[in-house]
Structure formats: C-alpha cells, structure tokens
A = this chain, B = another copy of it.
Amino acid sequence: MDLTALIDDIVAAMARETERGTVASYIPELAKVDAGQFGVAIATADGRLLTGGDADTGFSIQSISKVFALTLALGKVGDQLWDRVGREPSGNAFNSIVQLEQEHGIPRNPFINAGAIVVADVNLGGHQPRVAIGEMLRFVRYLAGDDAIRINEEVAASETATGYRNMALANYMRAFNNVRHPVDLVLGSYFHQCAIEMNCRQLALAGRYLMLDGRHPEGGRVVSPSRARRINALMLTCGHYDASGDFAFRVGIPGKSGVGGGILAIVPGRAAIAVWSPGLNTSGNSALGTKALEMLARRTGWSVFSPPEVHQG
C-alpha cells in the first residue's frame, strides 16, 4: 500500500469534515487553540516517517503522557505498581469515582486521572517535582530522538489553577494512603507531565518502541517484549475513557487519546501513528483524530483483530 497517497486522502477527507467537535474548555490555555487544524504522522517498522497536514504544529499531549509515565513507573517499581493501580476499564467518569470508593482508593487503571496520579506519585519517588519532571522530559526526548520537546509552562500553570477535581481525587486517595507524597507536589508533577508539548512527528517517533515489542529503533530496549504488549493491551482496553470499547470495535488498534486533541495509536510490528485535531467528540476524544484512524485502519486492514496476512500497509 502507498501510505503517502493514503495520508493525502486522509488529510483531504478530514478537510471536508463538518463535524469537527469542540475544543476542550476546562483548561483555559487549551481553549485558545484553533479548532481547524489536523495533523498526522506515521512511523513505520521499516524506519520511514510519513506526515500530512499540520504534523509540525505542537500541541499539549495531556493524557497521552500517561503512556510514557506508566512506562517509567514500571521501570522503577515493576509489577508492584499493580498493587496500587488496577488494569480494568473504568466505565464513565461517574463510575470511576464510585469505584474508587468501592475499591478502597485503588484506581481501576493507570489511564484514568486517578490512576495517573498514583503513577505520578510513584514517579516522584521522594524527589522534588522538578527532578521527576526533568526525568520524564528526558525520557520522552530519548524515545522520540528529539531534544526540542519541551513543557508548556502556561498550560501547566493553567491546570494548576483549575484542577479542583484532580485535587479532590488526589486527596481522596491520600485518605487511603494510595497517594504518599504531599498532594501539591504530586499534582505539580502531574500537571507538568500533561503539559508536554509535541507535534505529530515527534509523537509518532516517541511511540515506536510500542510497535517494536519494546525495542528502541536506534538500538537497545526500552521495555521487555512482555511489558510492551501489556502496555498495548492497556491502551486498547482503557485508552479512550468510556469510549475505549467503541474505539476497539471501530478502529481495532491500541490507542491513547489526550484532551489536547492528540491520539497515539500502535499497530504492533507495523506502525506508530500520531494524529491531532483539537476538536473533541462527546466522549472527550479527538473527533477528526478518531475518524482519521478509523479510515486508516479500514484502508490498511491494520486491525489487531484481523489475520496478519490481511494487512496491506
């Protein structure tokens, strides 16, 4: 398959879309972004990088950072992490707080906010937030092979000022001793992690280890094959909030979305894909991003649920 032509088709199709969703408004800095943008980048297993649309425009990766933070935390504490965070889909936001109460402060998975706050608590590891933030930034730069990646301090500050729900969650879990550092340090670190700014090109590159069974394309291992598969599994079952099942059903590949409008998607052995468009659908995932990935999956046959020989990419 000619991926270049396919990318052109996708960019053209997205330009024609009229249902473009709504830009997230609860983080004031994010609300300023122009909704008319769309970018896509595909890093293939054979080393190519193909891009289209606004692939060089930076955006706030937000919850996509949870994938990288989870990878780091597993490196620090290994499977002990799973004593403090579950691996099950969470249902809607309403259910996630109900379940947090029922399940004694153990969040359902590391990709809902409560779970990501516990991961941030693990990554803090007794250090100051700036140490943990520095480590996270170096890790993402290493994955993408790009030292230009930075944190948008305005976005981080914007979250700090409005993140009352996250403060509620963190205090709630602290009552169960499942957050162990002072809440303001944990959230300071967490908000900075979410405020990492990347473009589609950088994000696709940063995701390559997950298509390569844990290997860094430049050599060496980021994680073991088993761990890479498990992170992919979590992305498939929990990566799109309460639309995770629908994304698995319609697109059929692991993906993690962020409220900034980005989605990182992984086709094991084939491709790491980044799409971005800031308008969100009612489930809080990028409206055009989801459509673009559905179109890409349909045209390439890249579903983890189809026989490998069907793949066209």
Contacts and interface: CB of A to CB of B under 8 A. Distances in A.
Interface of A: 45, 86-92, 94-95, 97-99, 101-102, 108-109, 164-165, 167-172, 174-175, 183, 211-213, 225-226, 228-230, 232-234, 236-238, 242-246, 248-250, 252, 254, 268-270, 298, 303-311
Copies in the complex: 4
Given A165-B175, A168-B175, A237-B236, A306 B91 contact: no
B171 A269 contact: no
A210 to B, nearest CB: 9
A260 B229 CA distance: 29
A266 B171 CA distance: 36
A90 B238 CA distance: 12
A160 to B, nearest CB: 13
Contacts of A211: 307
Nearest to A232: B305
A238 B233 contact: no
**Closest CB pairs A-B (n = 5):** A269-B307, A308-B308, A89-B89, A168-B172, A164-B175
Given A99-B95, A171-B171, A306-B229, A245 B249 contact: no
A233 B305 CA distance: 6
Given A89-B245, A98-B101, 10 more contacts: A86-B245, A88-B246, A95-B95, A98-B98, A168-B171, A230-B249, A232-B305, A234-B248, A269-B308, A304-B305
B244 A237 contact: yes
A213 B306 contact: yes
A212 B254 CA distance: 21
A88 B89 contact: yes
B168 A245 contact: no
A268 B307 contact: yes
Interface centre among A99, A250, A303, A310 (most CB of B within 10 A): A303
A240 B156 CA distance: 39
Nearest to A238: B245
A241 to B, nearest CB: 10
Given A95-B99, A172-B165, A306-B268, A233 B212 contact: no
9 contacts: A87-B249, A89-B89, A95-B99, A165-B172, A225-B310, A233-B305, A254-B305, A269-B307, A304-B305
Contacts of A89: 88-89, 91, 237, 244-245
B164 A174 contact: yes
Contacts of A252: 229-230, 233
